[in-house]
Structure 1
């Protein structure tokens, strides 16, 4: 989702809460009744705090579940203290807590706990405990151009301003993408997608699309790339004691095609996709070469030097190019 779904919360809070306050002020002015200015100032202060909180949530929504749990724990701790004061204050130090205040705080904490639980349960049922996996990835590439190389019409989308090294990486990716095997490549740097290029609009690939179109596939691939990076970082924390270094390659070899995650360095990685199950190995090798080429643009040594042994083909039936492949979609 490109737009920030939290960005309008401050305006919503102000419109729904400030309006009654303004109406009350107007009625006080017309009728000439005494008005409690301290109470009005308190209400305005609460409104401002809610607006600030909603604005902050919009900026750090990737960590929203953690923040909700911290806030819930903090409010529960405060409620414990208030409950102790209300119960034992009159006995221990001849002081207490007004029943209305304690009841209001208890209601607020209970409501917050209920909303938090419902929200996290919904996320859990959807298979996404952390909404970071659904959070926006910042601005997505929008500058679009097309280039014809051989028989392939290649779509290229980039962010407005990319540096010369990223331009070289883009040129390398465009050279690798074609309608035969590697159909989509996206480059991520500094937690955002700097560019992607693909041939998903090619007519020869139309039979891979049934319930989705190329644009929807692109959004899904970019979102999955964000998720894979998050999961890879968590796996690296678990695998650190194995002393094998970071995870540099992840292949999601699905029934119809595959998705590749390739680590470039601490802040950069590549996502690649092939729609054709028969071309998974070829696309995988191209991604490995592509990563080493891009690392060279940043004066980094290659990390994917490997040799794939030739597959025995004596027991396999070769499929002519004219024969339609039965599987479609990825």
Structure 2
């Protein structure tokens, strides 16, 4: 049974653990003919039905579960705060009161939900399986834009304001490496944010690589992927400490249409690169390695990626099973 099926069973669990005792209480009330507080029963059933409905939604939308859990927790906590205020000050301010059962049930439900949310997220985080949405932590994106023509390539450059001299040198190195043949996009991150990126995605020769996403949308996706890959690399480093191999300095996502690279520069800096052409994955990879050593030199750090290897005959081509759509060339 997959994760979706397990979460789909949450309403059944809630009903069996909570609703069944209430139904038995109703039955005993009917058989013995005793008086029963109908308002309290309706309140209990209403809360249970609400919890079951929330559980059903969470079970059906598995991919957004962490976001939904946090959003639902925020809403329920706000509602409980209003209810608590009414229970505490109602008799004084407007001579009204909140039933103790209702206040107790809501408080218990919010506490249980908060506890379950915390346990779930902690377990997933410790397993290294929960990749959060990190857009909020990316900081302001580079907006200062200029274009530069080098040879046949028109290069887009976007930076944050007031970058230092060393970062200016790093930018110059990245601009010198990107072109329309192989390395098509490079972003530089420092202190948890992107300081600049440069690319040739608007080049007319690369237009056939864009089908369902435009160039600007692709840039945004690359920047987000770089932020998430850095987080994931940190989680992997924690797990790899026991093998005593050092930290990850290079991560390559070799996809069917090109590749995405993450290269470690130092503890506070890293690079993200992209090639759209599957045939140039090795060439772009070597460029990224040389680029990192150049940038480390700007910060008076020794090279870490120097390596020599003979070129492969025929490049980095591999067969891809044909799909319903036809790709003129493989591109990321």
Q: TM-score, normalised by structure 1?
A: 0.62
Displacement of 1:243 in angstroms is 1.4
Instruction: Report the counterpart of residue 185 of structure 2 in structure 1.
Output: 184
Range moving further from structure 2, 99-108 or 243-252: 99-108
Instruction: Report the counterpart of residue 210 of structure 1 in structure 2.
Output: 211
Displacement of 1:137 in angstroms is 0.5
SS at match of 1:283: helix
Residues 37-76 of structure 1: pairs in structure 2 closer than 5 A: none
1:193-228 deviation digits (Å, cap 9, x = unpaired): 000000000000000000001000000000000010
* Residues 1:145 and 2:151 are matched in the alignment: no
Displacement of 1:244 in angstroms is 1.3
Provide the rounded CA distance (Å) in 2 between the counterparts of 1:195 and 1:116.
Answer: 41
Instruction: Report the counterpart of residue 329 of structure 2 in structure 1.
Output: 327
SS at match of 1:240: helix
SS at match of 2:136: coil
CA RMSD for the aligned pairs?
Answer: 3.4
Residue 209 of structure 1 contacts residue 328 of structure 1 at CA under 8 Å; is this kept in 2? no
Instruction: Report the counterpart of residue 241 of structure 2 in structure 1.
Output: 240
SS at match of 1:186: strand
Instruction: Report the counterpart of residue 306 of structure 2 in structure 1.
Output: 305
1:165-211 deviation digits (Å, cap 9, x = unpaired): 00000000000000000000000000000000000000000000000
Provide the rounded CA distance (Å) in 2 between the counterparts of 1:313 and 1:273.
Answer: 21
Instruction: Report the counterpart of residue 172 of structure 2 in structure 1.
Output: 171
SS at match of 1:169: helix
Residues 1-330 of structure 1: pairs in structure 2 closer than 5 A: 100=99, 103-111=102-110, 113-114=112-113, 129-313=130-314, 326-330=328-332
Provide the rounded CA distance (Å) in 1 between the counterparts of 2:106 and 2:164.
Answer: 53
Residue 182 of structure 1 contacts residue 286 of structure 1 at CA under 8 Å; is this kept in 2? yes
Displacement of 1:101 in angstroms is 5.1
Provide the rounded CA distance (Å) in 1 between the counterparts of 2:230 and 2:198.
Answer: 19
Distance 1:247 1:104, change over 3 A: same
- Identify unmatched segments of 5+ residues in structure 1: 1-63, 76-98, 317-324
Displacement of 1:113 in angstroms is 4.7
Residue 208 of structure 2 contacts residue 328 of structure 2 at CA under 8 Å; is this kept in 1? no
SS at match of 1:131: coil
- Identify unmatched segments of 5+ residues in structure 2: 1-65, 78-97, 318-326
Instruction: Report the counterpart of residue 90 of structure 1 in structure 2.
Output: none
